[in-house]
Amino acid sequence: MTASLTTHVLDTAGGTPAGGMTIDLFRIEGDERVHLASAVTNDDGRTDAPILPDADHGTYEIVFRCAAWLDARAPERRRFLGDVPVRFGIDEDAHYHVPLLLSPFGYSTYRGS
């Protein structure tokens, strides 16, 4: 068995899923980031399939492209956040879920189920 990785994004300021956001996934190898996948969230704020269905143990980084997403929805509003990188480790053969709760001025994340 290998690990799998899913994600979703919720717009906590709007109270809705964050559909249409680009997400990039990287594997960290020493000082290098190796691009593995890109996806765009659907109307439910999720990717249509696991962003990484067969993940090896190691260090990964998801970059949520929040700046473009926030600017497209409220170009007149100032925002504090740019893109949000989340670096995490996969060290067991299990399902990993890394969601992002987003507002224009802050975010939180956690290992979900």
Is the pLDDT confidence value at 78 over 90?
no
Model confidence, pTM: 0.93
Please state the rounded mean pLDDT for residues 88-107: 94
Is the pLDDT confidence value at 26 over 80?
yes
Please state the rounded mean pLDDT for residues 26-51: 97
Residue 86: give the domain boundaries: 3-109
The number of beta carbons lying within 10 Å of the beta carbon of residue 15 is 7
The number of beta carbons lying within 10 Å of the beta carbon of residue 51 is 22
Count of domains observed in the chain: 1
Is the pLDDT confidence value at 82 over 70?
yes
Q: Band of the pLDDT at 74, cuts 50, 70, 90?
A: confident
Determine the pLDDT at residue 47.
95
User: Which percentage of the chain shows pLDDT scores above 70?
Assistant: 99
Instruction: Give one word for 54, left, alpha or beta, with left for phi > 0 and alpha for psi -120 to 50.
Output: beta
Q: What is the CATH number of the domain that holds 24?
A: 2.60.40.180
Tell me the C-alpha distance between 26 and 108, whole Å. 20
The number of beta carbons lying within 10 Å of the beta carbon of residue 39 is 19
Of 8, 9, 21, 18, nearest to 68 by C-alpha is 21
